[in-house]
Amino acid sequence: MGMTMTQKILAAHAGLDSVKAGQLILANVDMVLGNDVTTPVAIREFKKLDLDKVFNKEKVSMVMDHFAPNKDIKAAEQCKMCRTFAGEMDITNYYDVGEMGVEHALLPEKGLVVSGDIVIGADSHTCTYGALGAFSTGVGSTDMACGMATGKAWFKVPSAIKFVLKGKLSQYVYGKDVILHIIGMIGVDGALYKSMEFTGEGVSTLSVSDRLCMANMAIEAGGKNGIFEVDEKTLEFIREAGGKDPVVYKADDDAEYDAVYEIDLSEIKPTVAFPHLPENTRTFDEIGDVPIDQVVIGSCTNGRLEDLVIAAEILKGKKVKKGVHTIVIPATQKIYMQAMEMGLLKIFIEAGATVSTPTCGPCLGGHMGILAEGERAVATTNRNFVGRMGHPKSEVYLASPAVAAASAITGKISQPKEVM
């Protein structure tokens, strides 16, 4: 029986000719990732092993992004622990304030992940890198510690769901709308511990940014990972990022899938996930009048340059509604610089928005935009659980950068055509 993309990558890294769903394997990893929240726990476990070095100083990444720049003493101590450990271990890919970015935007940008890799990260949205044809998945901090020590990880080979994309997205519809549509269709546990594999002629019409957004939110459907078939756009992105030579895996024609969905991209409409689950999706023919207090444009899901360009096109020459706190967070320093050189930051500030240094910040209720009781936010982030962005009686609505920008102008959840 044939194998899926994910199964082929896992087999190769385990030194096996083939694997099948449910099989337990020990596989070599190409990158072990942690952030300022999860790495300190991993460091404590690593030190119990009494080792004086990590398995490969080039294949461990630590990104200080969740509470950095440090929001309080505890955050400062967490980052200090990571900084000290990275120095002791001579870890090459350690990124702190001034050079860091949101981790899942930073690693692809720096060419640290390529097609065919296995990446484990002590953060659930590590599944982002499947956009580049890698197998990447979130793990616990103890698994991160073992990965840093041995360069290996245990996996149960996932079964898969196949999403065959066809057609092309309409104006003001983006990858965020597609993944919200899918999660709304199959539910937050619809892909539980499965590989979400994206293929079909429609893939080529999606930008790499769209794909990164969609793979990022595979976990919101319960997925073990999300992965896209590699094409020339993928390879060009990797070349431009200066990554190593990729290894491309394509699913066998006789690969087994638990389900197959055909999705016509041209039929997708601007979509918003209402509180308090990403599966609670609605399109604008069923949204109604929902006033808001805050807009956040950023995160590992939608803080890339393409996202900022989309938001700026809508906000240019307009003003955000008085009382709507609009926060724009470029995902990396490079994106921040590009946005500045393109004049995007000027557009945001003139519109009445504030622009932050790269950080996860408000996405996880960390800092830079906490919600008070009863407040509502439209955010380009990936989760809208109870209390996710602040007070447990606040509300988060997930949307694309275009919908977020339009909503900032009107003060209620709005689609771009209403303000253009």
| Domain identity same for 193 and 285 | no
Place of tokens 């000027």: 346
Q: How confident is the model at residue 420 (pLDDT cuts 50, 70, 90)?
A: confident
Predicted local distance difference test score (pLDDT) of residue 1: 78
* Residues 45-100: tens digit of each pLDDT: 999 999 999 999 999 999 999 999 999 999 999 999 999 999 999 999 999 999 99
Query: Is 17 exposed, middle or buried (CB count within 10 Å of its CB: 0-12, 13-18, 19+)?
Result: exposed
Number of domains present in the structure of the chain: 2
Percentage of the chain lying above the pLDDT 90 cut: 98
Kindly tell me the sign of the dihedral angle through the C-alpha atoms of 179, 184, 185, 191.
Answer: positive
Tokens of 322: 């008085």
Tokens of 29: 């990893």
Residue 44, CA distances (Å) to 12, 38, 87, 145, 326 in order: 31, 11, 16, 8, 38
**Mean pLDDT computed over every residue of the chain:** 96
Distance CA 365, CA 387 (A): 8
Amino acid at the residue 416: P
Predicted local distance difference test score (pLDDT) of residue 322: 96
Last residue of a domain, which of 202, 232, 264? 264
Place of tokens 């002791």: 88
- Boundaries of domain holding 207: 5-264
Last residue of a domain, which of 229, 264, 299? 264
Mean pLDDT of 8-23: 97
Amino acid at the residue 309: V
Strands 225-228 and 354-355: unpaired
Mean pLDDT of 143-164: 97
Contacts of 48 (CB under 8 A, 6+ apart): none
| Domain identity same for 278 and 225 | no
Q: Reply yes or no on whether the pLDDT at 243 is more than 90.
A: no
* Residues 368-416: tens digit of each pLDDT: 999 999 999 999 999 999 999 999 999 999 999 999 999 999 999 999 9
Tokens of 338: 């590009």
| Domain identity same for 218 and 235 | yes
| Domain identity same for 61 and 188 | yes
Q: What is the CATH number of the domain that holds 214?
A: 3.30.499.10
Last residue of a domain, which of 215, 231, 264? 264
| Domain identity same for 165 and 45 | yes
| Domain identity same for 304 and 182 | no
| Domain identity same for 255 and 317 | no
Predicted local distance difference test score (pLDDT) of residue 419: 84
* Residues 168-203: tens digit of each pLDDT: 999 999 999 999 999 999 999 999 999 999 999 999
| Domain identity same for 110 and 205 | yes
| Spatial CA neighbour of 213 closest among 145, 95, 299, 133 | 299
pTM, two decimal places: 0.95
| Domain identity same for 363 and 403 | yes
Predicted local distance difference test score (pLDDT) of residue 292: 98
Distance CA 179, CA 159 (A): 20
* Residues 102-130: tens digit of each pLDDT: 999 999 999 999 999 999 999 999 999 99
| Domain identity same for 278 and 253 | no
| Domain identity same for 96 and 189 | yes
| Domain identity same for 252 and 364 | no
